């Protein structure tokens, strides 16, 4: 019997106004909006270099959004989850321990 492959529930890119989650840093006005993940959460934990596709802004970007990949560890170490879809909360409620 063939093994069924799990589908990544956050693998489809979202618009900046409808992210899967928003993390903010308490200093520096840094904000990450999670627009896509590349792996299932259980596979992210196996690699310290796992990244999410995000839109980010800070004082250094003068309020403009910059798009790109950011290491998950950087986001969870320095940010606090402030908004998320119910599905995101179900998967990431315990945080990511890499």
Each residue's pLDDT tens digit, 15-40: 999 999 999 997 778 999 999 999 99
- pTM score above 0.85: yes
| Residue 74 main-chain phi, psi, to 5 deg | -65, -40
Neighbouring-strand partners of residue 24: 31, 80
pLDDT for the residue numbered 95: 52
Whether the Cβ atoms of residue 8 and residue 39 lie closer than 8 Å to each other: yes
3 state SS of 72: helix
Predicted pLDDT at 62 = 81
The answer to whether residue 49 scores a pLDDT higher than 60 is yes
């Amino acid at each position: 019997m063939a093994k069924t492959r799990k589908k990544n529930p956050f693998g489809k890119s979202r618009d900046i106004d409808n992210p899967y989650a928003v993390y903010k840093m308490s200093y520096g006005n840094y904000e990450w909006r999670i627009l896509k993940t590349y792996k299932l959460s259980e596979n992210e934990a196996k690699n310290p270099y796992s990244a999410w596709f995000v839109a980010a802004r800070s004082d250094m970007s003068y309020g403009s959004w910059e798009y790109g990949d950011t290491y998950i560890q950087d986001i969870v170490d320095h940010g606090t989850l402030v908004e998320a879809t119910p599905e995101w909360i179900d998967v990431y409620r315990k945080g990511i321990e890499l």
